[in-house]
Structure 1
Amino acid sequence: MSIDESVSAQPHGFTLKKRRRWPYVVIAVVVIISAAIYFVVQRGSGTTSANETPGATLDVVYLDSNPAEKAIIEYIATNVAPDYNVKVGAVGLGDSTQINQAISDGRYAGTIFQHRHWLQQVLDANPGFKEQAATGPVFHWVFGIWSDKYRTPQEIPDGATVSLLADPANNAQGIWYLAQAGLVTLRPDADITALTTKDIVANPKNLKFTLLDFGAQPRALPDLDAIVGYAESFLAAGVSEDKLIFAPKSPDEFASVLTVGSRYVDTENVKNLIKAFKDPRVQQFIATDPEVKKLALPGDPA
């Protein structure tokens, strides 16, 4: 029911009518409620991850410059995952920080592009990320000493300039390789995951070190005496495999692991995903596939 209330203004000869306020109040309430419902629905749908959804495909990320990582994930998706009641997809990305953030917030289920110490670097720099290693070594990247001028590490001359990778974790790995090749000697108690040039106690060839990123290393090969880095960078740039002059298997500390979002590690989907990556058939594939062997060596993920 509506009521019009009029107030007569006798001295002026006209009437003022009060506005009907209740329709505006009702409209305002409806708008507020609708907005709240929309916000809740949108917020709820935005936080639902495939990790938590029965029957959903769990996308596992590979570094888009590494075809071996892609091949491993696709092999698992086709040949292994169905036995563990999980669907797996392969997604290639190039920005490592973007990958870790997406794993942390559940947009993707996991990744095999990194070793534990690279992950730790990322977590230290991004305290809000929640991501963890879920397996042992899935595979070892082919990594070693490359040279356009010399056939063995022993041929590298006095005063040679050698490139190491610029990030701390892979810089440490490079120094470990130089020590394995007999080019430098390390402190006996040095932590191989945190090596720096300060841990070198003997450098008989007086090697000089320069730091480069992944993409710059292959381009610099003709200008330097040697470079310590990943096969994927060099082969992608068209460098011949015979330029890799020293390449023992890396320590487990520098091997690929499956990492997953910490919030989702106990979901049924992710638990099944982890089981699939630990299946022995995966290691057999890595050891025998001719293309994968160029970039990856078997690990021990159990």
Structure 2
Amino acid sequence: MKKSLAILAAVLSLSVHANEKLIVGATPVPHAEILEFVKPTLAKEGVDLDIKVFTDFIQPNQQLALKNLDANYYQYRPFLDDFNKTRHTDLVPVVGVHIEPFGAYSTRIRNLSELKDGATVSIPNDPVNTGRALVLLHEAGLIKLKDPSNTLATPKDIAKNPHNFKFKELESAMLPRVLDQVDLDMINTNYALEAGLNPAKDALVIEGADSPYVNFLVARPDNKDSVAIQKLAKALTSPEVKAFIEKKYSGAVLPAF
């Protein structure tokens, strides 16, 4: 009888552990690194964190909508809102974790004032990041947008381009690869970090700490309030994670809590 009870207890224990498995999609830097940092903490709380790394911005949302992932961590609200609208999904933000200030980089100049007329400027080609890059260029005084508050601005929304810059739109992940081929390269911080750039030192202009582009942990309406998701949300916004971000990224990534 005791042996049967022991076997039953073991089976129940395994079932509970399996129910707490959490599959989370993320881009490599800094998202997957931050998830790796909280993985041991979650393990102690009975959550088996399985991190799936993606190198693009579309698949993590598609896989989450298809329920191949339980959550993802790599995007900010404007991007999520645009994805939901254009892909007819209803993914939801759970908690904001950090900010990655967007920056402009170059191997050809050391100061924005050195940009020549007709210079080639590469920018992301997805709607939200295109707008983000153009707003930063507007704030730097290089161009003038019709509406600087338009987060979905495109090159067609440029009111004044006094230096006749030529804009080259590329997939975000491709931008670091063309750094030596353009005069100015507008790169998302996660891709800049992966390429070995230090946004705090290498960017010629960069967003401030007041950037509205907070990166969120994202889930679905059916699981956002689950015990495992909420444990992950709590871990990602802990004092330990704040200290980890500040120490590891030295200002290139900023805690949002």
Same fold (TM over 0.5): yes
Residue 71 (1) aligns with residue 49 (2): no
Residue 93 (1) aligns with residue 54 (2): yes
Quote the Cα distance in structure 1 between the aligned partners of 2:197 and 2:121: 17
Unaligned runs of 5+ in 2: 1-15
* Contact 1:148 1:243 (8 Å CA) reproduced: no
TM-score (norm 1): 0.69
Quote the Cα distance in structure 2 between the aligned partners of 1:107 and 1:60: 9
Residue-by-residue CA offset, 1:240-292 (whole Å, 9 max, x unaligned): 87653222337543231110122111222222222222223222211111xx4
Shift of 1:144: 0.9
- Change beyond 3 A, Cα 1:178–1:282: same
Residue 288 (1) aligns with residue 247 (2): yes
Matches within 5 A, 1:2-21: none
Shift of 1:60: 1.9
How many residue pairs end up in the alignment?
A: 241
Matches within 5 A, 1:1-302: 55-63=19-27, 66-79=28-41, 81=42, 86-127=47-88, 129-136=89-96, 138-187=97-146, 189-234=147-192, 236-237=194-195, 244-249=203-208, 252-289=211-248, 292-293=249-250, 296-301=252-257
- Change beyond 3 A, Cα 1:106–1:175: same
* Contact 1:139 1:297 (8 Å CA) reproduced: yes
TM-score (norm 2): 0.80
Quote the Cα distance in structure 1 between the aligned partners of 2:193 and 2:81: 27
Quote the Cα distance in structure 2 between the aligned partners of 1:191 and 1:220: 28
Unaligned runs of 5+ in 1: 1-51
* Contact 1:62 1:70 (8 Å CA) reproduced: yes
SS of 1:258's partner is: strand
Amino acid at match of 1:90: I
Quote the Cα distance in structure 2 between the aligned partners of 1:215 and 1:180: 24
SS of 1:162's partner is: strand
- Change beyond 3 A, Cα 1:275–1:283: same
Quote the Cα distance in structure 1 between the aligned partners of 2:68 and 2:17: 12
Identity %: 26
Rg larger in 1 or in 2? 1
- Change beyond 3 A, Cα 1:220–1:98: closer
Quote the Cα distance in structure 2 between the aligned partners of 1:73 and 1:280: 15
Shift of 1:170: 0.5
Shift of 1:238: 5.9
* Contact 1:144 1:229 (8 Å CA) reproduced: yes
Quote the Cα distance in structure 2 between the aligned partners of 1:277 and 1:56: 17
Quote the Cα distance in structure 2 between the aligned partners of 1:253 and 1:201: 24
Quote the Cα distance in structure 2 between the aligned partners of 1:123 and 1:220: 30
Quote the Cα distance in structure 1 between the aligned partners of 2:198 and 2:239: 31
* Contact 1:73 1:89 (8 Å CA) reproduced: no
- Change beyond 3 A, Cα 1:277–1:233: closer
Residue-by-residue CA offset, 1:110-143 (whole Å, 9 max, x unaligned): 111111222223222321x33111112x122253
CA-based RMSD of the aligned residues comes to 2.9
* Contact 2:138 2:148 (8 Å CA) reproduced: no
- Change beyond 3 A, Cα 1:243–1:269: closer
* Contact 2:214 2:256 (8 Å CA) reproduced: no
Amino acid at match of 1:170: N
Amino acid at match of 1:117: P
